[in-house]
Amino acid sequence: MLGLMLSAVPVLFLMAVAMWLVSLYTDDVSIVDYSWSIMLLTGAVVYAVRVGIESTVNAVLLLMVAIWALRLAGFLIKRGRNRPEDRRYRAIRKKNGPNFALKSFYLIFILQAFLAWVISASFVPGFLVDSVLDWTILHSLGTSIWLLGVIIETIADNQLHQFNQLVVKDQHTLNTGLWRYSRHPNYFGEFCIWWGWCVFAIPGAIAAASPLILIAPMVMTVLLLKVSGVSLMERGIVDRRPDYQSYRDCTSSFFPWPPLKKVSDK
């Protein structure tokens, strides 16, 4: 398994270098967000090519990763057009100047490539073992959880994007649609996607006696809740959006749930 994983390292490293060079040309490291899902797809493609697509299980796994990666990258590119560098990266740039252009190579791009490589380990048991496994109820369950996550994430992303395109707003916080039931339904959708893949990979992991399938969902859950997701997005948000406090008081942070009281539309 380690040998198969190591085969993806040179490709991911070259992708990191390419994205870094583009960021130097545009003077905007936000481009790293666009390559995140593509790096994971690249890892999955490398594993699939090395092992071969020899079963329905293999093919469905690769198809799920491709659909997720291309949808997410496409949405982020559409959302990021004609926008300045994300405030998160402006803060990193300010904290690590001078010579941020050089530092960004390892602080942002190499770090992302390494994280993508570690997380892609969850796909390895599937491509190694699932080629000799028949389709099971766990594959169906995992696919269903993944599909639910993709639908939720897609709807939530589009609702927020459309809201942010409005020239005139009565409020600064979206509190309708899926955002009425969760303050971060897009992150919840991503959570479902990764745990869906974990369930999908259980038969292969059992056959290979490998715990690797737990790496990605556990790491992604921590990232979504404590690092780059909910925790980071809500840091100082009340100062930027005065109406967010009342929204936070009555709306679930992550898991969708009916609001404690009617969310005001004003």
User: pLDDT digits over 108-120, tens only?
Assistant: 999 999 999 999 8
Nearest alpha-carbon partner for 66 in 193, 171, 218: 193
**Total structural domains within the chain:** 2
Q: Are 12 and 128 contained in the same domain?
A: yes
Highest average pLDDT, of 9-23, 24-38, 202-216, 238-252, comes from: 9-23
Q: Are 107 and 129 contained in the same domain?
A: yes
Q: Are 106 and 158 contained in the same domain?
A: no
Which domain, by its residues, includes 226? 138-266
Q: Are 16 and 128 contained in the same domain?
A: yes
Q: Is pLDDT at 207 greater than 60 in this prediction?
A: yes
Q: Are 90 and 116 contained in the same domain?
A: yes
Which of 72-81, 132-141, 200-209 has the lowest average pLDDT? 200-209
Q: Are 144 and 258 contained in the same domain?
A: yes
Q: Are 1 and 99 contained in the same domain?
A: yes
Q: Are 206 and 233 contained in the same domain?
A: yes
From CA 195, how far away is CA 217, in angstroms rounded?
Answer: 6
Q: Are 84 and 211 contained in the same domain?
A: no
Residue 171: pLDDT band with limits 50, 70, 90: low
Q: Supply angle C-alpha 30, 110, 47, rounded to 5.
A: 105
Q: 0.75 cut: is pTM over it?
A: yes
* Segment 226-243, tens digit of pLDDT: 888 888 888 878 877 888
pLDDT in the model for residue 132: 59
- In whole angstroms, how far apart are CA 180 and each of 33, 136, 162, 226, 264? 26, 36, 15, 22, 10
Helix residue ranges, H only, 27-123: 32-51, 56-80, 87-95, 100-104, 111-119
Cβ count near 128 (within 10 Å)? 20
Share of the chain above pLDDT 70, in %: 94
pLDDT in the model for residue 170: 56
Q: Is pLDDT at 69 greater than 50 in this prediction?
A: yes
**Pick from 135, 150, 168: which residue ends a domain?**
135
Q: Are 148 and 187 contained in the same domain?
A: yes
**Which of the two residues, 134 and 262, has the higher pLDDT score?**
134
Q: Are 152 and 77 contained in the same domain?
A: no
| Mean of pLDDT over the chain | 88
CA 207 to chain CA mean position, Å:
28
Q: Long-range pairs for 248-254 at CB < 8 Å and ≥24 separation?
A: 248/183, 251/175, 251/179, 251/180, 251/181, 251/182, 251/183, 252/181, 252/182, 252/183, 253/182, 253/183, 253/184, 254/182, 254/183, 254/184, 254/187, 254/188, 254/191, 254/224, 254/225, 254/230
The answer to whether 139 and 203 have CB atoms below 8 angstroms apart is yes
Q: Is pLDDT at 263 greater than 70 in this prediction?
A: no
pLDDT in the model for residue 250: 92
Q: Is pLDDT at 189 greater than 90 in this prediction?
A: yes
Terminus-to-terminus CA distance in the chain, angstroms? 55
Q: Are 251 and 222 contained in the same domain?
A: yes
**Pick from 113, 135, 157: which residue ends a domain?**
135
Residue 266: pLDDT band with limits 50, 70, 90: very low
**Pick from 101, 135, 169: which residue ends a domain?**
135
